Amino acid sequence: MPGFPEYDSYDALGLGELVRAGQISSGELVEECIARIEKVNLHINSVVFELFETARARSAAGFGDGPFAGVPFLVKDLIQRIPGVPTQEGSNFFKGWTPTDETNLYRRWLDSGVVPVAKTATSELGLLPVVETDLHGVTRNPWMLDRTAGGSSGGSGASVAAGVVPMASGGDGGGSIRVPASCCGLFGHKPSRARNPSGPIASEHWSCYVAEHVLTRTVRDSAVMLDATHGPDDTTPYFAAPIVGTFAEAAGRDPRPLRIAFHSDPAFPATVHPDCKAAVEDAARLCAELGHHVEEVSPGHDTVALGRAFLVVLGANVAAEIHEGEQLRSRRARSKDFQLMTWVTRMLG
């Protein structure tokens, strides 16, 4: 590593504090991030598009005085648009498509002070909980390269876990922040719907299933970034309830005793690995030791009906997304443009 081996011992707020104190420059952090991408990406395949020169220019020109001023950041290659930068969504159909407009949440990330250095891998259209695409290949878990980093925000999860950045963006419709956070040993919070903006291109994503935020190594980074980005925009058809105080204050406050229910059986027919079940039980035990009321319960819902309802909504939204893509690409979509699961899901819609 070229100059700052302690880089990955800091979270994003910690790096921002170093920049503000003049102990290190944003440019030095960006170069450290780039060096780490170049070292690990061959092994984990988490970065799919480099923004190195743009990052160098931003770190030199200025990045405001936000809480993460000057800190390297990675952006998931799905939904969020950066003018002049391809948005390919893990799909051959969108390969090379480059927007000219900018999404509001991306602008709020910039206003927080971060310096985007690259875009990260996603499953095709964000559908699967693993990142294995025809366009970019397999994203691997840095803790064990023969295991998945999860998905659909697997590129972001793998990058944070590998120490490339302390924080990277993700989106979550059915676990796409939470799954890679679990696989990679990170903190992944899915905000309430409409807590963060979806505009101006869309008013919501996947009929409000999707919420976008970040994957981090610390809770405080996630909370402070949510403080920086939350709130409606002009396209929001509904809004999340206002909060009292800040998310950072809430994250730093000892909670009152809570009633916590946990459930370690899968919602659909599947086998849970004993290690995963033990991890859930360990977490429940820890919560009880902290003074909370914890009990194991069964949700009792009709899993077949739930699965059908989810697929109806998902299929309709994938079909709509591919139809929109046809307008953007000025050509009809064909089955060979997509992976089989994506095309089948589209047919359901």
Identified catalytic residue from 26, 152, 156, 222 = 152
Counting Cα atoms < 13 Å in the Cβ hemisphere of 252 gives: 9
Q: Is the peptide bond before 182 cis (omega within 30 degrees of 0)?
A: no
State the burial class of residue 266 (Cβ atoms within 10 Å of its Cβ: 0-12, 13-18, 19+).
Answer: exposed
Identified catalytic residue from 176, 190, 198, 222 = 176
Q: Is the peptide bond before 257 cis (omega within 30 degrees of 0)?
A: no
Cβ 119 vs Cβ 168: under 8 Å: no
| 176 belongs to the catalytic site | yes
| 39 belongs to the catalytic site | no
3-state secondary structure at position 322: helix
Identified catalytic residue from 26, 59, 76, 159 = 76
| 76 belongs to the catalytic site | yes
Query: Residue 240 and residue 235: Cα distance in Å, rounded?
Result: 14
Query: Residue 45 and residue 250: Cα distance in Å, rounded?
Result: 35
What is the residue-wise DSSP string for 243-269? Answer: PSS-HHHHHTSPPPP-EEEE--S-SSS
Type of residue at 155: G
C-alpha 147 chain-centroid distance = 19
> How many beta carbons lie within 10 A of that of residue 321, not counting itself?
21
| Catalytic positions, written as ranges | 76, 152, 176
